[in-house]
Structures are given as C-alpha cells and as structure tokens.
Amino acid sequence: MSGHSKWSTIKHKKGKLDAKRGKLFTKIIRELTTSAREGGGDAASNARLRSAIAAAKAANMPGDTMQKAIQRGTGELPGVSYEEVYYEAVSYTHLRAHETVLDLVCRLLLEKKKENKTIKKHIELPKEYNQAKHVGD
C-alpha cells in the first residue's frame, strides 16, 4: 500500500496532471491570442489560427476558453497583450582547423516589453564564441 491513504495518492496524481495541463493550456492560449491578433479571428482565412485551434482540441481545451482567447486577440475582450519577438544569434569559431558556425533563431511570445531585456541576457552565447548578435528588437 502506497502513501497514507488512497485519497492522498489521488490528490497528488491529480495535482501533477493539472499542473501539466495548465502549462500546456497557457502555451496554446498564447498562440491562439497572437494568431487571432495578427490574422483575424476567422479560422477559415487564418491558417495559423486553424492550427492553434487544432492543437487546442487535441489537448481537450474547453470551447469557451478557446473562444475567449480568440476574442482577446481580436480586441473584443480586454486582456493581456502578447508580443512576438524573434532573436537570431550567429557565432563563428575556429577550433583545430575546423570552422564551426552556430545559428540560433528563437521565437518568443512575451507579455511585457520589460521581459525583453531579461530574455536578451539569457540568450547570450558563451565567451568562447567570438561573435554574437541579436536581431529582432
């Protein structure tokens, strides 16, 4: 017999599952909001929104939650405004007669402009790389 009681075991399993589902729903809601803001709220004419809706249905997201996220993106409901930012880092290094090129492109959805500076610090390449640049501000 595991744990103190059966309810305790169920409670912990349910808590883990709910945390995973909440994390996934947050990512999908951000994608729904951003795609609705950029291409409109009509899924027939917005391919990105169509794929986000398919991902939401695959994750068993409730329909009213999807609709609210789309309405926030189109401006019908007030809410958090997400900003899409692209960062590109390029690095060249020479190690033992081999030239190594590292290209990194990151697509991020940020809530605030302030997060932009924090993320930029964490994307910095290690010091052994001699050239790095960030594009997309």
pLDDT in tens, 98-120: 666 667 777 777 766 555 555 55
Q: pLDDT value at position 19?
A: 94
34 and 49 in contact (C-beta within 8 Å)?
no
pLDDT < 50 stretches in the chain: 125-137
- The strand ranges marked E within the chain are 83-95, 98-110
Q: pLDDT value at position 136?
A: 46
Q: pLDDT value at position 20?
A: 93
| The model's pTM | 0.59
Euclidean distance between CA atoms 53 and 48, whole angstroms:
9
Euclidean distance between CA atoms 86 and 54, whole angstroms:
24
Q: pLDDT value at position 56?
A: 95
Q: pLDDT value at position 105?
A: 74
Task: Region of 60 please: left (phi>0), alpha (psi -120 to 50) or beta.
Answer: left
